Structure 1
Amino acid sequence: MKRVGIIRQGLAFLILVSILVLLVKFDCIFATKGTSQAVDTGASELVSKLKVGWNLGNSLDAVSKNQGYKLDTETLWGNPKVTKKLIHSVKKNGFSSIRIPVTYYNHLDSNGKIDTRWLARVKEVVNYALAEKLYVIINVHHDAGLSDKYRWIYSDEVTYDIDKNNLMNLWSQIAKYFKNEGSRLLFESTNEIMDREKNWAWSYKQNFGVTAKLHNEFIKTVRATGGKNATRYFVLPTYAASSDEEEIRQILNYEYEDTQKNHLIMSVHCYKTDIDTIAKIMNRLGKYSKKYNVPVIMDEFGVKNDITSSKGLSLVKKYREKALENGVVLFWWDNGSEYGLFDRTTGEVKNKKVIDILTK
């Protein structure tokens, strides 16, 4: 009887150990799953989810310096107000992401405060897109852009302190307003920012580098607002959104003071209409993306006027083909007119052939 008892005790002990081992394994499985859900995937994986994007051009970015402080600027350049129907059509027809350019000039009071009604309208349109599960990029567009008619923030050593204060004033307010929005919302620091004289020559590359300095201040300013901005992804355009070598190097060589790792994305624009040039630019972007381990998006490109001609379609195909080869995500520039893919009033497709090339 004593021996049987010992055996029984031994079996009980083995069963207990087995149960404990199973519990540990069970717990580890859930711990690993929880960790994998919490770990940030990084900018490269996020960019792969953007897939193909569309620009809501000439709407929330419309501006008129002659009209001063004004709420209703959305229709200034001939497009109707943005509707849920339009954004639904963009998603329905295969786009995964949307860039919403925004200009603030007409919405600033004498103290530099953004009209909260304007911020509310921007948020309303952003929410149209988020409700469709689109990834969304918002930026500071013509304020820090290329056109002399609209720009007032520059990438210039001489006026750096003024420009930094003006740009950070905007972003501190924008960031606070959107601080609770989830990670599908991305912030893009500027647009096609240039120095006061619009210099392109490499002898002015110090002003190319000022763009990176402004980006660094943007990163610190937005991160400091807390909330979801503490881990938000940022898009950093090159000087003038150029795809040239030196402008790219000035952005990628800068040591940004970001509290997050792998949360930065570089962006460029391109409207070239020569197939060989397009291929060369795309290969360059792929090379630098791999060299610096920073994903790249071309968040403006398009083919004007001859959009549905055989030449126009061949150009779109080349952009798409070379973008896929080099891991570059494309965002079509739609201004509602010569680059338009959708009817801005009805949401109906205007250029199915182009959309099919981009999305299929």
Structure 2
Amino acid sequence: MFLAVLLTIAASAYGAANQASAADTVARSSASQIVADMGAGWNLGNQLEATTNGYPSETAWGQPTVTQALIDKVRAAGFKTIRIPVSYLGHIGPGPNHTIDPSWLNRIQQVVDYGYNRGLHVIINMHGDGYKTVNGSWLICDAPSQAGIKAKYQKTWQQIANRFKDYDQRLILESMNEEFDGQFGRPTQPCYSNINSYNQIFVDTVRKSGGHNSSRWLLVPGWNTNIDYTAGNYGFAVPSDQYRSPSIPAGERRIMISVHHYSPWDFAGEETGTITQWGRAATNPSRTSSWGQEAYLDSQLKKMYETFVTKGYPVVVGEYGAIDKSSFDSSNNRYRADFARAVAATAKKYGAAPVYWDNGATERYGFGLFDRRSLTVTQQGIIDAIMSGVGARVAGSALPSGA
């Protein structure tokens, strides 16, 4: 922080032309360093992407208003990165300007500041605007009106980028979330080409806004943030970065690749009590999925490493986790912790940053690690497992049994 202050003072002395150069110097960080600095991450899920009747509202899905105290609790637990999913939807005005409701943008900034001002890395994205199942969604890759969609997307990101251009590189902007045609299967064209276009518009728009955005780390997903469809030969294209700051050495990247990992789904997300165990410590084969175990996890993240990390593009596992099925199997939380530890440790092994999905729900089928009303930890065993996985174990914590 002291260095940043000195650089800011120096920039003022040398004039506006040198100010951007000083900002770039502050913002610079290597691919391996940014992943190490991000450490273990946590999602503020089901809040700023919660919606009702086509309008985002942070309490729409039953969660309380986000507070500084909640973010402080998450930070105290050992998390160094907070991902804040954000929907815009009806808060975007009509064209051609597509002005975002100032009160909504102000609230987004306030929640960002809860983490950013505490020294955390913060990720914000465009989360629900591309879901066909969401009322008011518009970022639809197989819709016929692509020219209008792309113009709206560009104008929206231009406003977001301008609002945050003075934040240093601890703020990471993510173009979108789980964008695809809504069918869980092989990617289709020209839908995937449109997703690539959205990512390119995002990168170009953010870079052109100046300030720290000219050298900021930017996060982009492939088809539905699916590892196979992003790393495989299905059409994903890493955006070009022609407008980035010239002060960044030619061999360095400022693009990150976003994927999610919820495999095997019958353990991690399927809302039944059938598959409740995971991993080599599982004791009941009838409660364990026939696929998606440790070797599969390793092969998936190794694929991302070989395709992107070795070329200088860091990977962010922006969501992972497993829902609570302990009402069906009292040992379930042990396996949820084993799964979280394995994802975090494998991500670290392959140069990726893991960000746990917390939707605020702490009962049956919930992902929650914290009660957002009482500000209490509800799954210390899973938190401990994540911290041990990334090698950032909190002092005094203990691993769950079966480690």
Same fold flag (TM > 0.5): yes
SS at match of 1:309: helix
SS at match of 2:169: coil
Show the counterpart of 2:274. Answer: none
Structure 1 residues 208 and 110, CA, compared in 2 at 3 Å: closer, same or farther?
closer
Structure 1 residues 330 and 229, CA, compared in 2 at 3 Å: closer, same or farther?
same
- Higher mean displacement: 268-277 or 145-154: 145-154
Cα deviation for residue 252 of structure 1 reads 4.8
SS at match of 1:182: coil
Show the counterpart of 2:349. Answer: 325
- Higher mean displacement: 138-147 or 185-194: 138-147
Show the counterpart of 2:130. Answer: 144
Structure 1 residues 206 and 248, CA, compared in 2 at 3 Å: closer, same or farther?
farther
Cα deviation for residue 253 of structure 1 reads 5.0
Tell me, in whole angstroms, the C-alpha distance in 2 between the residues paired with 1:211 and 1:88: 35
Show the counterpart of 1:349. Answer: 377
For 1:159-213, what per-residue CA distance to the aligned partner results, in whole angstroms no more than 9, with x for missing partners? Answer: 4322211211210111111222222111100111113x546324x2542233222
Q: Contact (CA 8 Å) 1:145, 1:240: kept in 2 or not? A: no
SS at match of 1:334: coil
Greater fraction of residues in helix:
1
Tell me, in whole angstroms, the C-alpha distance in 2 between the residues paired with 1:314 and 1:109: 45
TM-score w.r.t. the length of structure 2 is 0.73
Cα deviation for residue 145 of structure 1 reads 4.0
Aligned pair 1:267/2:261, yes or no?
no
Aligned pair 1:191/2:177, yes or no?
yes
Tell me, in whole angstroms, the C-alpha distance in 1 between the residues paired with 2:307 and 2:231: 12
Tell me, in whole angstroms, the C-alpha distance in 1 between the residues paired with 2:218 and 2:239: 15
Structure 1 residues 311 and 139, CA, compared in 2 at 3 Å: closer, same or farther?
same
SS at match of 1:142: coil
Query: Please, what is the CA RMSD of the aligned residues?
Result: 2.5
Aligned pair 1:109/2:128, yes or no?
no
Show the counterpart of 1:14. Answer: none
Q: 1:41 aligns with which of 14, 18, 29?
A: 29
Show the counterpart of 1:54. Answer: 42
Cα deviation for residue 92 of structure 1 reads 0.5
Matching residue's letter, 2:244:
T
- Higher mean displacement: 305-314 or 319-328: 305-314
Q: 1:305 aligns with which of 324, 339, 357?
A: 324
SS at match of 1:75: coil
| Unaligned stretches of 5+ residues in structure 2 | 1-21, 246-251, 265-291, 327-331, 388-392, 394-403
Tell me, in whole angstroms, the C-alpha distance in 1 between the residues paired with 2:386 and 2:120: 16
SS at match of 2:196: helix
What is the 5 A alignment of 1:10-89?
Answer: 40-64=28-52, 66=53, 73-89=57-73
Seq. identity, %: 30
Show the counterpart of 1:11. Answer: none
TM-score w.r.t. the length of structure 1 is 0.81
Tell me, in whole angstroms, the C-alpha distance in 2 between the residues paired with 1:83 and 1:219: 31
User: Which aligned segments of 4 or more residues in structure 1 are displaced greater than 6 angstroms?
Assistant: none
Q: Contact (CA 8 Å) 1:242, 1:248: kept in 2 or not? A: no
SS at match of 2:377: coil
Q: Contact (CA 8 Å) 1:63, 1:150: kept in 2 or not? A: no
Tell me, in whole angstroms, the C-alpha distance in 2 between the residues paired with 1:41 and 1:206: 35
Tell me, in whole angstroms, the C-alpha distance in 2 between the residues paired with 1:246 and 1:334: 24
Q: Contact (CA 8 Å) 2:132, 2:140: kept in 1 or not? A: no
Matching residue's letter, 1:298:
V
| Unaligned stretches of 5+ residues in structure 1 | 1-33
Q: Contact (CA 8 Å) 2:27, 2:169: kept in 1 or not? A: no
Tell me, in whole angstroms, the C-alpha distance in 2 between the residues paired with 1:38 and 1:331: 25
Show the counterpart of 2:211. Answer: 227
Aligned pair 1:208/2:227, yes or no?
no
Cα deviation for residue 214 of structure 1 reads 1.4
